[in-house]
Amino acid sequence: MTADVVVVGSLGMDFVFRVPRLPRTGETLKGQSFSTVPGGKGGNQAVALARLGARVAMVACIGDDANGRSLRAGLEADAVDCRAIESLADQVTGVAMVAVDDQGQNAIIIVPAAYGMLSPEIVARHSALLDRARFVVCQMEIPADTVAWTIRHARRAGAKVVLNPAPILGPLPQDWLDAIDYLIPNEIEAEALSGIKVDSPVSAQAAARHLRGCGAANVLITLGAQGVFAATSDGGERHYPAIAATAVDTTAAGDVFVGGFVASLASGGSVADAIAFGQAAAALSVTRHGAQTSIPRLEEIMRKGA
């Protein structure tokens, strides 16, 4: 299989705690339930892409342990090409602790472990995948120098570069922005990148304009319940209201949007169509618990008329 989309990113196991509310500093809070769920932003996006119709491969690192073997098996079951997922004998698989409250909001702590060892040298061993891809998708849970190498190589190879800059600590280097075709931050990330507080479609418009002016070809700022604001390379600017949904768990909703958006683009959809499709997928995902367990399949979205 030749992958249309290659995801270079994190792959980890999520330990999910259901709580009535998020704990305060120093507080011990009794939880309601516990589950172990496949995750990692890269893994979530790869699964979303595959379930939503794209041919996808993943470049990642896992530990040589039970969590790593379980993650690989899950991706393979979703038809993700896993040949470029390397097992590291001296590392454990990355993990995340996810607390989800009764309103569906979450707080997350990650320990990268193996996926923190995904180096430019490892990605370069699988550069043939990137050379054949139409889209290359990255996030920021892997080392920054690996993201930099990947987006530069992908751009030279002619692929469209998609960056979901999460988690983010500050502005991106100029040469990164110049190489990005689709920059997809949420409100917090857009503020860190632009210096503009983002809390509404109006402020998102200002931040998106700023980021496009800095070099990113297209900027899509996800606003949770307020939808998505897009500033595109043709000069268009548009707010896409959110699809109404009763959220029980927002974990991975942003990853599902990214996966749905890129899957639609890869199938020939316009940017507007891809945003609508990504929103439909994300809206369905928040009605379910967990990360990869919440990701819908293409036939579910099509039944709802997206």
Residues with catalytic annotation? 255
Instruction: Kindly tell me the burial class for residue 166, based on how many C-beta atoms sit within 10 Å of its own C-beta (0-12, 13-18, 19 or more).
Output: middle
| CA-based nearest residue to 215, from 199, 193, 236 | 193
**What residues contact 128, with CB distance under 8 A and at least 6 apart?**
none
CA torsion through residues 27, 32, 34, 38, sign: negative
Q: How far is CA 158 from the centre of its chain?
A: 21
Alpha carbon distances (Å) from 249 to 18, 60, 88, 187, 242: 9, 26, 32, 18, 16
What six digits make up the tokens of 35?
Answer: 């589950």
Are 114 and 94 spatial neighbours (Cβ–Cβ below 8 Å)? yes
Are 251 and 291 spatial neighbours (Cβ–Cβ below 8 Å)? yes
| CA-based nearest residue to 194, from 231, 155, 247 | 231
Which residue do the tokens 């990504």 mark?
278
**H-only helix segments in 113-222:** 120-124, 127-132, 144-157, 174-179, 187-194, 201-213
What H or E segment, with its residue span, contains residue 246? Answer: none
CA torsion through residues 12, 17, 21, 24, sign: negative
Are 173 and 188 spatial neighbours (Cβ–Cβ below 8 Å)? no
